[in-house]
Each structure stands twice: as structure tokens, then as C-alpha cells.
């Protein structure tokens, strides 16, 4: 009886068939744009079939497309150690050096690859780019001419795709626009130009280009996928679903499109439909990491915690080097890793062959596990390791944030509002809950959403979209916040109505709704100009509890200030400066609600909040954990149970490691009662 080999899609009876199955499956995923799942599949394969050159080189190509050139180079160089002179590995290593800006090291590798396969156009194009970077222009032009002669139809697209991978977006745009001037209906070029627009955060031009691409080639499935993702980013869920359904129609067994559809339905709060789509994907491919992770996320959001744990554990077993489900499990707050899982986690977290983002997730998961075991020193070590890796990926300028805060306060002063009294749409429906992360905003939202007149929605992006409208409407390049000075009264009303219209898709007819986007604290003045009847509740907490809670939380996007204690402290100070400003210029707009007060006096704070909102008291707000609604934040498990006090002064567990943060926050900390100050400040006060 022949031996059976497991593959991503079943079992086969030949080792070579198994290798081919892994390769073909990962290659199909890569071509479909599902780079994350392609990487997960190949990492499984290299463990089983480590010395297979094609598997290793395809993993390198996927990593290059993910813009991880150093990781890719390690795999290509490993392949060259096993198989010196292998052309595919030579080319890949050369491209990796090229993407890392090391042309001198790229040139000899690419020259060797070009000599081995002289009729391969992509190799000649990569060599041309390396020679140009090395200031060897005549040789570069000769290599490019060879590429164009070998494959004139594909050469421009290949060149532009390489430029996009290396983030040379202006160069890619110029190449593609020149090509499209002669070939205006080339769907591949249109899709690539849409990628350039998307990477430059020009979303509407990207949608227009992708629409042209699918009009030119109605069966161009990757363009339909990109169009669906682009519409999803704009929260245009119906058009997103129309596009992804077209992708599914053209390739019904491609799991990638189903996962995109699941993501759209999740974002649209259509959770049961999303679960059904993820289940459909898992029937086609039982171990698909994206489908398992998406399923676990939806189950967590709707409160089916044990099922969420089962889905995420299945994902971890199938893809142990996939970091996201590890963190998702740890972030459930109520879950602890068993001994076998912990041993594997500790083994993986120090594996520098894994991508940085994977190790970020693993370190945060390990930090949360150690914290649950009350090993606070080792927990902070893991959190810090993850934070340092993530900070290296972020572009955050604390000086620029301070300047933007200053500009906001300068524009939205008392005179500004006095001159615009009565502007905007009068609807009092919006209730904004703002503040810094980990300050109790989800708890406040859950309490208020338990009132019969209040709709709980989610962290909405509509106010930021209206800010983008203001900046884009300016012909002279002036941006927000200064651009709001140019708005007329009818503009403010129109923008307010547009905000209300956009948020309507999250509402079911209740008189009031909550917009719980914490970062809207920056835009309270803009909100007041558009919607003077809107109310704002500012979720507050002890500065050190808020900051350490933020530092320990791994965010999937945004909050780039949160991975460094110095920057985190500065950001908190700017936040407090701005909130003090809103209280001064809009004295009845914002109600501060402290987490500590909610925990220790829930009924008193419920009365206080409802009085502020001019709503009658309802006892259901005191039993908020009984409210059955989807919660899509890190605190989802905590607000499904009665209040507890163990989170109060949690920062004390880390106090000896917080000197840098305490230094930044000292002006605020000195305003607190002595018993709530750090010990070193109490001791200074006694002296």
C-alpha cells in the first residue's frame, strides 16, 4: 500500500505529487493576490520538504511581493547554499538586494541569472534596474532593450509591477500612463495603475481605474477582487459585494474571493452571512488560515466565545507560524494557552526567520499570557519586543502631531464658533464617545446602547471622511484644519447631512446612535460646526492605566503613537491639551466620564450620562452585560460580564518600568491625589 501525503487540498500517494500540489496551490494563491495564505501554505511546505528549490524560491517571491526583501533574501541564499548557481534563486536574491537598495550586491547575482537564462525578460528588467541604480546607464539601457525585445507586450507591466513592489510609485505611474496612452484598454496596466493610486491613498481614482479594467476585460477576476476591496475601504458594501460576486462567478472554487466576501459582510455587520461564507470557504479548503481567522473574529464579535476559540485553535494548529490567531486567542482576555501551545509559542517567538509582523503578534500573545500568570516583568519584556518591531513599521512623527494639535486649537477658537453660531444640521441624534484607547469607551458604549432610545453602532469613519471632503475640495492645496475657514454656512449643513446619511446604514430607527471612534477627540470642533446638537462623551482613565493599557494592546491599524513610551506619553499630553481646549471654547459640548467612577459608582454615572444626553433613566443600563449586540473591540469579552475592579490601578504592576512614561505625564500626575501618584512622586512630595 503506497504512503499517503497530506496537501493543502487533500492527500496524494506520491511525494512529488504532494510537492507539486503545495506549489500549485500556493502559486494560484499568489496570482490571485492572497499573499498571506500563499505564505502560510509555503511555510508549511518548507518544513515538510525543506530542500525543495522551487518551494523555497516561490516563498521568496511571495515575501518580495509582501515587501519583505530581507526575509526573502534569507530563503534565496539558503537555496543557493544547497544548489549553487540555481538561476531562479540567483534572480530572487538579486531582486531582494535590489528592493533593499543594495544595487552593488544585486548586479553580480542578476548578471549570473541573465547569463543562465538569457531569454527571460523579467531577469533582464531586474538587471536593468540594478545597473541603473549602480550608475551604469549604458549597460542598463541595453538590458532594458533586451527585455523589450524579448516580451514587448508584458515588459512594461513587469517593469511597473517591480517599481510598485519597490515603492517607486512615481516611476510606476509614469510608465503605466505612457503605456496606457497607446493602449488605453489594457486591463493589466489599468489594474497596476489602480494599485499605484491606492498606495498613494487616492481611493476614488483607484476605483475608476479598476472599473475601466473590468469593463475592458469582464472576466479579469483579480481586478474584480481589487474593486471589491476598494469599495469595502469606502464602506460601500453593496458595490463591494457586487464586485466580489463577479470574482466568485468567474472562479467559484477560489477561496480568496470568498474570504474577501466574508470580510465585506463582517464590516457591514452581516455576521451570520459572513459565517456562512467562511464555512463555504472552509468546505473548499478546510485549513485556509484567512477563513479560519475570519470565522474566529466573527464568532468573537457576536459573543460565541467558545466557538471562536475552537476556530482560532484550529488555525494555530494548521498554521503555527501565522501570528494573528495567536494574538486573537490571547486578546480574548478569558483564554490561557495550555502547556503545549505555550512551548510552541516560546519556540516561535525567537525565530528570526519569521516575518516581523508575525513576531509582533507572537510577542504580544506571549506578553498577555505572562501577564495572566502575574509574571509582569517577563510580560513587559515580551510586549516591548513586539512594540519595537511594530514601531519600526510605523511612520509617526510626535513633533508633527504636536503641530497639528496647535493648528487645530488655533483654528477652532472661541471667535470661530461665535461667528458660526447656528450653522450645521440640527439633528441631535449623534452621540460620540471619544478618548484614548483602553480608557473605558467600549464600556460606556455598551451601557448607553442598553437604553431603548440609543443605537450602538461601531467605530465609524464617517467624520474623518467629511474632513477628507473638505481638504479635497480646496483648489489652492489648503488642507484641514485651516480649510474649514473657507466653508460657507450651506457647506457646513451639507457636510453634517452627509455625515448623517452615511451613518444611516448602521442604524435601525432609534432616535439616537453612538459613534465610538476614539480618535474623534481631535475633531470635536469640526463636529460642532457640522452638527451642533451632537453630544460628546470623553472616556477618561488614570493616565498611566490608559497608557500602559494602550501599550499592551496590539492594534490592527492606526494608533502608531502607541509603541514607544516616550511618544505615547507625549500623545497623551497633546490629547489632554486638546480636551482642555474643547471644554474652554465649547463648555457644554463634552462630558468627561472616568472609568474609575463608572466601575465604583455605575448607577451614579449612568444618571449623570443620561442627564447630559437628556434621556430618561432606564434600569437596563445597569444590566448592560445582558444586552445582546455585536462588539468589535478588544474589550468585547469584558463588557459581556458585570463590572469588576481588578483593572483599577493596574499600572502599579509595571510601575518600576515606567519611568520614561511617568516623566512625560508628570504635569498631569501631580494633579492627582497623592495616593494615586507613582511612589517616587509621593516620596518626592514627602521630602
What pLDDT does 6 receive? 67
**Is residue 685 classed as helix, strand or coil in its secondary structure?**
helix
Angle at which helix 255-267 crosses helix 289-301, to 10 degrees, equals 20
What pLDDT does 363 receive? 96
Question: With bands split at pLDDT 50, 70 and 90, how would you rate the model's confidence at 640?
Answer: very low
Nearest Cα residue to 364 out of 339, 340, 391, 338 = 391
- Which has more pLDDT, 10 or 403? 403
Q: Which of 39-43, 262-266, 299-303, 631-635 has the highest mean pLDDT?
A: 262-266
What would the pLDDT profile of 57-114 be if each residue is shown by its tens digit?
A: 999 999 998 888 998 999 999 999 999 999 999 999 999 999 888 999 999 999 999 9
- How high is the mean pLDDT of the chain? 90
Q: Average of pLDDT values for 224-249?
A: 94
What pLDDT does 434 receive? 96
Rounded distance between C-alpha atoms, residue 144 and residue 568, angstroms:
48
Q: Is the pLDDT of residue 264 over 70?
A: yes
Say which range, 131-140, 360-369, 377-386, 445-454, has the weakest mean pLDDT.
131-140
Q: Is the pLDDT of residue 620 over 80?
A: yes
Q: Is the pLDDT of residue 294 over 50?
A: yes
What would the pLDDT profile of 580-605 be if each residue is shown by its tens digit?
A: 999 999 999 999 999 999 999 999 99
Question: With bands split at pLDDT 50, 70 and 90, how would you rate the model's confidence at 303?
Answer: confident
What would the pLDDT profile of 304-337 be if each residue is shown by its tens digit?
A: 999 999 999 999 988 888 899 999 999 887 788 9
β-bridge mates for residue 536, sequence order: 432, 590
What pLDDT does 1 receive? 37
Q: Average of pLDDT values for 444-464?
A: 92
Q: Beta-carbon neighbour count of residue 51 at 10 Å?
A: 11
What would the pLDDT profile of 147-156 be if each residue is shown by its tens digit?
A: 888 887 777 8
Q: Is the pLDDT of residue 375 over 60?
A: yes
Mapped to the 3 state alphabet, what secondary structure does 20-76 carry?
HHHHHHHHHHHHCCCHHHHHHHHHHHHHHCCCCHHHHHHHHHHHHHCCCHHHHHHHH
Q: Average of pLDDT values for 640-649?
A: 70
Residues 6 or more apart from 274 whose CB is under 8 A from it? 262, 263, 265, 266, 294, 298
What pLDDT does 101 receive? 87
Nearest Cα residue to 536 out of 654, 607, 448, 474 = 448
Q: Is the pLDDT of residue 629 over 80?
A: no
Rounded distance between C-alpha atoms, residue 482 and residue 485, angstroms:
6
The three-point CA angle 198-203-206 to 5° equals: 65
**Is residue 632 classed as helix, strand or coil in its secondary structure?**
coil
As a whole number of Å, the end-to-end CA separation of the chain is 84
The torsion defined by the Cα of 74, 46, 285 and 325, in degrees rounded to 10, comes to: -60
Question: With bands split at pLDDT 50, 70 and 90, how would you rate the model's confidence at 362?
Answer: very high
Q: Average of pLDDT values for 625-648?
A: 62
- Pairing assessment for the beta strands 5-7 and 10-12 based on DSSP bridges: antiparallel
Q: Average of pLDDT values for 486-493?
A: 95
What pLDDT does 592 receive? 97
Rounded distance between C-alpha atoms, residue 163 and residue 579, angstroms:
44
Q: Is the pLDDT of residue 639 over 70?
A: no
Residues 6 or more apart from 280 whose CB is under 8 A from it? 258
Q: Average of pLDDT values for 576-580?
A: 97
Question: With bands split at pLDDT 50, 70 and 90, how would you rate the model's confidence at 34?
Answer: confident
- Which has more pLDDT, 192 or 158? 192
Question: With bands split at pLDDT 50, 70 and 90, how would you rate the model's confidence at 625?
Answer: confident
Q: Is the pLDDT of residue 685 over 80?
A: no
Q: Average of pLDDT values for 668-684?
A: 89
Q: Is the pLDDT of residue 671 over 70?
A: yes
**Are 333 and 371 within 8 A, CB to CB?**
no
Q: Average of pLDDT values for 214-229?
A: 94
- Pairing assessment for the beta strands 512-515 and 430-435 based on DSSP bridges: parallel
Nearest Cα residue to 73 out of 52, 59, 53, 87 = 59
**What would the DSSP string read from start to end of 270-331?**
-HHHHHHHHHHHHHHSTT-HHHHHHHHHHHHHTT-HHHHHHHHHHHHHH-TT-HHHHHHHHT
Rounded distance between C-alpha atoms, residue 500 and residue 356, angstroms:
40
* Domain architecture of the chain: domains with CATH: 398-647 (3.40.50.300)
- All cell numbers assigned to 385: 519586543
Q: Is the pLDDT of residue 164 over 90?
A: no
Amino acid at each position: 500500500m503506497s504512503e499517503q501525503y497530506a496537501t493543502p487540498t487533500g492527500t496524494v500517494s506520491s511525494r512529488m505529487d504532494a510537492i507539486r500540489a503545495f506549489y500549485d496551490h500556493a502559486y494560484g494563491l499568489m496570482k490571485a493576490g492572497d499573499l498571506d495564505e500563499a505564505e502560510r501554505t509555503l511555510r508549511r511546505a518548507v518544513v515538510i520538504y525543506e530542500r525543495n528549490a522551487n518551494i523555497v524560491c516561490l516563498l521568496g517571491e511571495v515575501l518580495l511581493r509582501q515587501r519583505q526583501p530581507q526575509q526573502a533574501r534569507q530563503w534565496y541564499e539558503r537555496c543557493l547554499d544547497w544548489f549553487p548557481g540555481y538561476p531562479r534563486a540567483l534572480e530572487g536574491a538579486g531582486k531582494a538586494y535590489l528592493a533593499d537598495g543594495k544595487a552593488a550586491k544585486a548586479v553580480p547575482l542578476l548578471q549570473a541569472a541573465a547569463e543562465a537564462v538569457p531569454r527571460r525578460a523579467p531577469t533582464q528588467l531586474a538587471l536593468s534596474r540594478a545597473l541603473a541604480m549602480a550608475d551604469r546607464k549604458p549597460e542598463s539601457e541595453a538590458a532594458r532593450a533586451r527585455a523589450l525585445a524579448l516580451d514587448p507586450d508584458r515588459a512594461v507591466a513587469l517593469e511597473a509591477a517591480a517599481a510598485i513592489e519597490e515603492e517607486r510609485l512615481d516611476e510606476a505611474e509614469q510608465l503605466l500612463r505612457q503605456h496606457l496612452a497607446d493602449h488605453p484598454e489594457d486591463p493589466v496596466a489599468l489594474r497596476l495603475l489602480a494599485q499605484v493610486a491606492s498606495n498613494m491613498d487616492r481611493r476614488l481614482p483607484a476605483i475608476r481605474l479598476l472599473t475601466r479594467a473590468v469593463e475592458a476585460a469582464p472576466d479579469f477576476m483579480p481586478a474584480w477582487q481589487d474593486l471589491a476591496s476598494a469599495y469595502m475601504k469606502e464602506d460601500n458594501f453593496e458595490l463591494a459585494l457586487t464586485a466580489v460576486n463577479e470574482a466568485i462567478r468567474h472562479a467559484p472554487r477560489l477561496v480568496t474571493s470568498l474570504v474577501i466576501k466574508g470580510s465585506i459582510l463582517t464590516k457591514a455587520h452581516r455576521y451570520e452571512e459572513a459565517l456562512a461564507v467562511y464555512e463555504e470557504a472552509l468546505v473548499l479548503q478546510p485549513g485556509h488560515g484567512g477563513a479560519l481567522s475570519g470565522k474566529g473574529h466573527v464568532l468573537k464579535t457576536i459573543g460565541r466565545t467558545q466557538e471562536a476559540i475552537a476556530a482560532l485553535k484550529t488555525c494555530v494548529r494548521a498554521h503555527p507560524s501565522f501570528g494573528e490567531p495567536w494574538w486573537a486567542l490571547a486578546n480574548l482576555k478569558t483564554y490561557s494557552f495550555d502547556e503545549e501551545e505555550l512551548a510552541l509559542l516560546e519556540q516561535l517567538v525567537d525565530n528570526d526567520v519569521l516575518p516581523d509582523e508575525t513576531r509582533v503578534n507572537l510577542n504580544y500573545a506571549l506578553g498577555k499570557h505572562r501577564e495572566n500568570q502575574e509574571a509582569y516583568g517577563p510580560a513587559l519584556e515580551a510586549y516591548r519586543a513586539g512594540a519595537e518591531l511594530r514601531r519600526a513599521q510605523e511612520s509617526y512623527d510626535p513633533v508633527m502631531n504636536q503641530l497639528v494639535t496647535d493648528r487645530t486649537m488655533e483654528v477652532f477658537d472661541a471667535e470661530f464658533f461665535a461667528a458660526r453660531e447656528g450653522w450645521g444640521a440640527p439633528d441631535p441624534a449623534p452621540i460620540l464617545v471619544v478618548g484614548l484607547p483602553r480608557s473605558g469607551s467600549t464600556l460606556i458604549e455598551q451601557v448607553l446602547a442598553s437604553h431603548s432610545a440609543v443605537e450602538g453602532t461601531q467605530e465609524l469613519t464617517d467624520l474623518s471622511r467629511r474632513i477628507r471632503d473638505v481638504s479635497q475640495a480646496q483648489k489652492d492645496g489648503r488642507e484641514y484644519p485651516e480649510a474649514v475657514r473657507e466653508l460657507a454656512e450651506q457647506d457646513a449643513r451639507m457636510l453634517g447631512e452627509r455625515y448623517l446619511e452615511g451613518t444611516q446604514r448602521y442604524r435601525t430607527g432609534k432616535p439616537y446612535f453612538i459613534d465610538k471612534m476614539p480618535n474623534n477627540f481631535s475633531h470635536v470642533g469640526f463636529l460642532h460646526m457640522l452638527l451642533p446638537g451632537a453630544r460628546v462623551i470623553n472616556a477618561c482613565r488614570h493616565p498611566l492605566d490608559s497608557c500602559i493599557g494602550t501599550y499592551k494592546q496590539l492594534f490592527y491599524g492606526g494608533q502608531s503613537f502607541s509603541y514607544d513610551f516616550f511618544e505615547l506619553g507625549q500623545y497623551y499630553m497633546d490629547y489632554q491639551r486638546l480636551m482642555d481646549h474643547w471644554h474652554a471654547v465649547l463648555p457644554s459640548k463634552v462630558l468627561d466620564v472616568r472609568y474609575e467612577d463608572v466601575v465604583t459608582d455605575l448607577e451614579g454615572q449612568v444618571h449623570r450620562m443620561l442627564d447630559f444626553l437628556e434621556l430618561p433613566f432606564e434600569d437596563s443600563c445597569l444590566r448592560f452585560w445582558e444586552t445582546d449586540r455585536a462588539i468589535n473591540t478588544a474589550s468585547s469579552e469584558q463588557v459581556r460580564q458585570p463590572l469588576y475592579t481588578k483593572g483599577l490601578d493596574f499600572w502599579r504592576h509595571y510601575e518600576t518600568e515606567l519611568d520614561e512614561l511617568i516623566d512625560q505625564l508628570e504635569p498631569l500626575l501631580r494633579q492627582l491625589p497623592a495616593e494615586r501618584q507613582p511612589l517616587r512622586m509621593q516620596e518626592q512630595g514627602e521630602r
